[in-house]
Amino acid sequence: MSFRGFLPRERFDTLFSILHKIGAQCIGPTVKEGAITYAHLSSSAQFPHKVTDQQEPGSYRLTPTTDARWFAWANGPQALKPLVFAPEEILWRSERNATGTIAFTTDAAQMPLTAVIGVRACDLAALALQDQHFLHPQGQDASYASRRRQLILIAVNCTHPSASCFCHATGDGPEVDQDYDLLLDELDHGFAVRCSGATGEQIVQQLSLEPLQPSQLNEIDNANRHAAEQQTRHLPATDLEQVLNTLQESGRWQDIAERCLSCGNCTSVCPSCFCHSQHDVPAADGITSTHVRQWDSCFTQGHSYIHGLVIRNETRFRYRQWLTHKFAGWIRQYGRSGCVGCGRCITWCPVGIDVTEELQGLTEEYNNA
Amino acid sequence: MSEQHQQPRVAVHKFSSCDGCQLAFLNLGEDLLALTERLDIVFFAEAGMMNESAEVDIAFVEGSISTAKDAQRIRNIREHSRYLITIGACATAGGLQALRNLAKSDDWVQAIYTNPEHIDTLDKVSPVREHVHVDFELWGCPINKNQLIALVNSLSLGVLPFEETDKLCMQCKRQQHACVMVTKGSPCMGPLTRSGCGALCPAFGRDCYGCYGPAENTNASALGQRFDGVGLLSTQISNRYLSIYSNEQAFACTGQGWNEES
């Protein structure tokens, strides 16, 4: 899509007003609990100001910066996933009446129109993957679908990848090229604006954009190219599906298991992981109960429990499952790898296990065999 | 379930403990009234009802076994109970009292008590499961009301109780807290600890100290190495592991290992 114009920084809150006018709540990046996280916002004053992030395996720190841009940082622990695939939600309620029959009622997920400001390319790619899973033609997930319909996606191109990022290697970033309503490029004094679809068009019409200068277009090109070049992590340039499927009995899985806590942080922050479990929460009255779905992980015992048996009872099997499914199984299931290169599993692993390093080690073992 | 059914009879017993887990019953508030509609509470130490030898369907037991009299009492309770459920760290795993198993407790008795001859304890503090068969264990220091309600419902409906075995990190991430270990280098025990508390400490920006005990499939030594990496002294690492669950193998080995380092 072509550029539609320039939105000066001091008029950015017009966007909030337009979104509120069309009935949308706004969610965007803000500093909370020592990280840049997404929360309900009412104005640009709540964006991160003069702050950036430093990420490395097992470590995330906010640091002050003289850069006055609001989006001069790489993704924090979460973005879109919790909005559409709820971490915990009630699927239905049951109530036993006096005659002993049980009545079921569903809790239709209700999310108002929701504009998410600041979405990055990796998260849009992950959203497309989650769509493939939850909006599958043979079994659409009603709660996911109802929330997904309510999203207005206002992307901002990423110019500050962290040391954990590798979206250039998966082909998912850093430039946004899909599924947005508005796409912004941040410049010193404001934002270059592109749009897509009817909602995006409707918003742009009301923004009273100024013309963009050719020098600004050059600056945007350079910033996007620079963002890709800054990334230091890579994936092995090989057929990972073949490597992983061949090395199922590798000793490396045990080596990883000695470091891995099997805590599930990697799968929880992964924007494409979709595993969940369900259980019932009975009320004290002994009559009513709610059926709850929550995020699960291939690192839990319950994930591989089948009729009296935990199939993956050791960490080496659980890590193998995570890596093999993410980088090999997904290809057969959904036509592409499940990794979008956001690097969250590297930063947010409490002991700093790095998937790119493990995949490199496995590839070397495969090549030397 | 028809109204004519006799209501399940319940007892709540106390051994060596602080009473905090019994308070989970009293903290039920309105839910306690709902539960008493469905249960006959025939014995409840904290609430003043006393009849230790009554026949009951469910006996909840708080506290660890510290004395010969305790050991005798728990056998008596077992004989009169259909299900025996431990509540909390002390009954389930020995709790704080089990710290004396790591020390020369006789020396402490001599040093602290004016008349040490009145102290008559067993050599070791032990969890209830070392004395009698336990049907189910509720972990926590203290337990909370959600665990109690879920358990009572499971037993009264005749289904296996749901056992919370996941790492606390799972619950913490579902609540979307930023990891305190990753953002601040705090020595969080979450990656080893059983979920169920609702991630109370990380919700307030502090590290979990493991009060719900070991989860399944723990890697205590890898986390100990990490604590070393974020700058904890050997004694501090040892204390993380040996406070409430010094008697649990999953924490004890690593805790004692760092204790010897110090």
Q: Would you state the pLDDT for residue B3?
A: 45
Helix (H) or strand (E) run with residue B44 in it: strand B40-44
Same domain, yes or no, for B138 and B206?
no
Residue at a domain's end among B114, B136, B157: B157
Same domain, yes or no, for B239 and B137?
no
Same domain, yes or no, for A136 and A168?
yes
Q: Report the DSSP pairing between strands B56-62 and B81-87.
A: parallel
Same domain, yes or no, for A143 and A20?
yes
Same domain, yes or no, for A30 and A131?
yes
CATH of the domain at B78: 3.40.50.700
Task: Quote the minimal CA–CA distance from A356 to chain B in Å.
Answer: 19
In a domain, B146, yes or no: yes
In a domain, B173, yes or no: yes
Least confident of A48-52, A67-71, A88-92, B149-153: B149-153
Same domain, yes or no, for A177 and A40?
yes
pLDDT at A229 over 60: yes
Mean pLDDT for chain A? 96
Residue at a domain's end among A206, A229, A252: A229
Q: Would you state the pLDDT for residue B262?
A: 74
- Residues of the domain holding A305: 240-368
pLDDT at A255 over 90: yes
Q: Which of A78, A264, A351 sits opposite B167 (nearest CB)?
A: A264
Same domain, yes or no, for A225 and A260?
no
Burial letters for A234-247: b for 16+ Cβ neighbours within 10 Å, e otherwise? Answer: ebbeeebbebbeeb
CA distance B89 to B64: 8
Beta strand ranges found along chain A (DSSP E): 3-8, 25-32, 35-40, 51-56, 59-64, 88-96, 102-106, 114-119, 151-156, 182-187, 190-195, 276-282, 288-295, 305-306, 309-310
Give the model confidence (pLDDT) of A269-321 as tens digits.
999 999 999 998 888 888 899 999 999 999 999 999 998 899 999 999 999 99
Q: Would you state the pLDDT for residue B48?
A: 66
CA distance B203 to B173: 10
Q: Structurally, how many domains does chain B consist of?
A: 2
Same domain, yes or no, for A209 and A280?
no
In a domain, A235, yes or no: no
Same domain, yes or no, for B49 and B100?
yes
**Which DSSP letter does residue B240 get?**
H
In a domain, B163, yes or no: no
In a domain, A275, yes or no: yes
Peptide bond into A161 cis (omega under 30): no
SS3 call for B12: strand
Helix (H) or strand (E) run with residue B23 in it: helix B20-26
Residue at a domain's end among B157, B189, B219: B157
Q: Exposed, middle or buried: residue B211 (CB in 10 Å: 0-12, 13-18, 19+)? A: buried
Q: Would you state the pLDDT for residue A325?
A: 98
- Residues of the domain holding B53: 9-157
Q: Which residues of A touch B201 (CB under 8 A)?
A: none
Same domain, yes or no, for B134 and B50?
yes
Same domain, yes or no, for B150 and B57?
yes
Same domain, yes or no, for B90 and B25?
yes
Residue type, A207: L
In a domain, B2, yes or no: no
Give me the percent of chain A exceeding a pLDDT of 90. 93
Same domain, yes or no, for B175 and B254?
yes
Same domain, yes or no, for A162 and A296?
no
Which two three-digit tokens encode residue B68? Answer: 């010969």
In a domain, A359, yes or no: yes
Q: Structurally, how many domains does chain A consist of?
A: 2
Q: Which residues of A touch B190 (CB under 8 A)?
A: 263
Q: Which of B28, B178, B222 sits opposite A77 (nearest CB)?
A: B178
Angle at A311 between CA A308 and CA A313, to 5 degrees: 100
Residue at a domain's end among A205, A229, A253: A229
pLDDT at A110 over 90: no
Same domain, yes or no, for B137 and B24?
yes
Task: Per residue of chain B (262 residues), give pLDDT as tens.
Answer: 344 458 899 999 999 999 999 999 888 989 888 888 889 988 887 766 567 888 999 999 999 999 999 999 999 999 999 999 999 999 999 999 999 999 888 888 899 999 999 999 999 999 999 999 999 999 999 999 989 988 988 888 777 888 899 999 999 999 999 999 999 999 999 999 999 999 999 999 999 999 999 999 999 999 999 999 999 999 999 999 999 999 999 999 999 999 888 7
Q: Would you state the pLDDT for residue B1?
A: 38
Is A258 within 8 Å of chain B by CB?
yes
Which two three-digit tokens encode residue A322? Answer: 């995570």
Q: Which residues of B touch A259 (CB under 8 A)?
A: 222
Residue at a domain's end among B105, B130, B157: B157
SS3 call for B193: strand
Q: Would you state the pLDDT for residue B4?
A: 47
In a domain, B3, yes or no: no
Q: Which residues of A touch B167 (CB under 8 A)?
A: 261-264, 299-300
Place of tokens 């979008």: A340
Mutate which: A38, A55, A253, A262, vs B, most B CBs within 10 A:
A262
In a domain, B48, yes or no: yes
Same domain, yes or no, for B195 and B246?
yes
CA distance A275 to A318: 13
CB contact under 8 A, B178 and A34: yes
Same domain, yes or no, for B123 and B177?
no
CA distance A355 to B222: 18
Which two three-digit tokens encode residue A83? Answer: 């909005």
Q: Exposed, middle or buried: residue A230 (CB in 10 Å: 0-12, 13-18, 19+)? A: middle
Same domain, yes or no, for A214 and A337?
no
Q: Which residues of B touch A289 (CB under 8 A)?
A: 153
Residue at a domain's end among A180, A206, A229: A229
Same domain, yes or no, for A88 and A141?
yes
Same domain, yes or no, for A204 and A268?
no
Same domain, yes or no, for B145 and B187?
no
B 138-197 → A contacts, CB under 8 A: 146, 149-150, 152-154, 156-157, 162, 165-167, 169-170, 173-179, 181-185, 188, 190-192
CA distance A299 to A313: 10
Q: Which of A268, A284, A313 sits opposite B173 (nearest CB)?
A: A268
CA distance B154 to A310: 22
Same domain, yes or no, for B150 and B213?
no
Burial letters for B124-148: b for 16+ Cβ neighbours within 10 Å, e otherwise? Answer: bbbbbbebbebebbbbbbbbbbbbb
In a domain, B63, yes or no: yes
Same domain, yes or no, for A364 and A262?
yes
CA distance B15 to B97: 11
In a domain, A234, yes or no: no
In a domain, A329, yes or no: yes
Which two three-digit tokens encode residue B57? Answer: 């369907």
Same domain, yes or no, for A153 and A11?
yes
In a domain, A100, yes or no: yes
